[in-house]
Amino acid sequence: MTVKVKDDKNDQAIRQLFEAGAHFGYSRSRRHPSVQSYIYGFKNRVAIVDLRQVVTALEKAKNFLSSLAANNQTVLWVGTKNEARAFVQVAAEDLNQPYVIGRWLGGTLTNFSQLQKRLGRLSDLKTKKDKGELSIYTKKEQLLIDREIADLERRFGTIASLKHLPATVVVIDSRAEDLAVREARQMKIPVVSLSGTDCNLVGINFPVVGNDAGRASIKYFVDQLATAYRAGKMTPPVVAPAV
């Protein structure tokens, strides 16, 4: 497929999106009605996303994340599908932000008080171990405590820095991360998403419609959003755009 674009300031971004395969959607039969306005057309029954709209939507999402970073706000990154995990992990760790790449635990946002108790338990045990305060226990008891630490790390380690509800949640594939999206909406936390043409965009504050299955496309979007957040850290505090 050949795409012709006019020479303007968005040309480079459109070309990069095209090269990443961001314009590929799902089959016509899987199209969700809420994405209709974002679809340029169909080729071999596969939806082709309007990249000009993608550029605009992505810019809004980037500006939002940049404003949050400028105010030192926390962003929770979520990408549990195989194609997204590595990119989400690298970006979040580089930004020193919490993330979820394993199974989303129900109640992470809606039952945050209980989550804080588990995170507090993890922090307490790790501190005591580092200070050698567990030596008062028997070897068997220490073994059980080590197992508890390992289990808590496995379940909560990547969100251990989450001291309060995040200012926003970034999800890769809002359909796959439906539970995270629903919890965020219930807690009135804005959602930024990369959503394929099979996703329901209703209730998502900053939807970016594009290829949410291809690794190159996912990497492009994650990198763009992470770069925007990083840049925001270097600017004076600003008022976040209205959701």
Residue with more model confidence, 25 or 226: 226
- Mean model confidence pLDDT for the chain: 89
Number of C-beta neighbours around residue 120 at 10 A: 10
The listed CATH number (1.20.120, 1.10.287, 1.10.150, 1.10.3470) that belongs to domain 112-159? 1.10.287
Check: CATH 3.40.50.10490 for 29-109+165-232? Answer: yes
Q: What does the pLDDT look like over 85-123, one tens digit per residue?
A: 999 999 999 999 999 999 999 999 999 999 988 888 888
User: For residue 238, is pLDDT > 60?
Assistant: no
Distance separating alpha carbons of residues 164 and 65, to the nearest angstrom: 17
Helix 215-232 / helix 82-95 crossing angle, nearest 10 deg: 20
Indicate left, alpha or beta for 21 from its phi (over 0: left) and psi (-120 to 50: alpha). Answer: left
Distance separating alpha carbons of residues 133 and 12, to the nearest angstrom: 57
Q: Give the model's confidence band at 226: pLDDT under 50 very low, under 70 low, under 90 confident, else very high.
A: very high
Is it true that 29-109+165-232 and 112-159 share their CATH fold? no
Q: What does the pLDDT look like over 48-62, one tens digit per residue?
A: 999 999 999 999 999
- Is residue 152 within 8 A of residue 118, CB to CB? The reply is yes
Q: What is the mean pLDDT of residues 120-147?
A: 85
Q: What does the pLDDT look like over 184-220, one tens digit per residue?
A: 999 999 999 999 999 999 999 999 999 999 999 999 9
Q: What is the pTM of this model?
A: 0.87
In the chain, domain spans: 29-109+165-232, 112-159
How many residues can be counted in the chain? Answer: 243
Instruction: Give Cα separations from 202 to 69, 123, 213 (angstroms).
Output: 26, 38, 20
Question: If you search the block for the tokens 């990083």, which residue do you land on?
Answer: 230
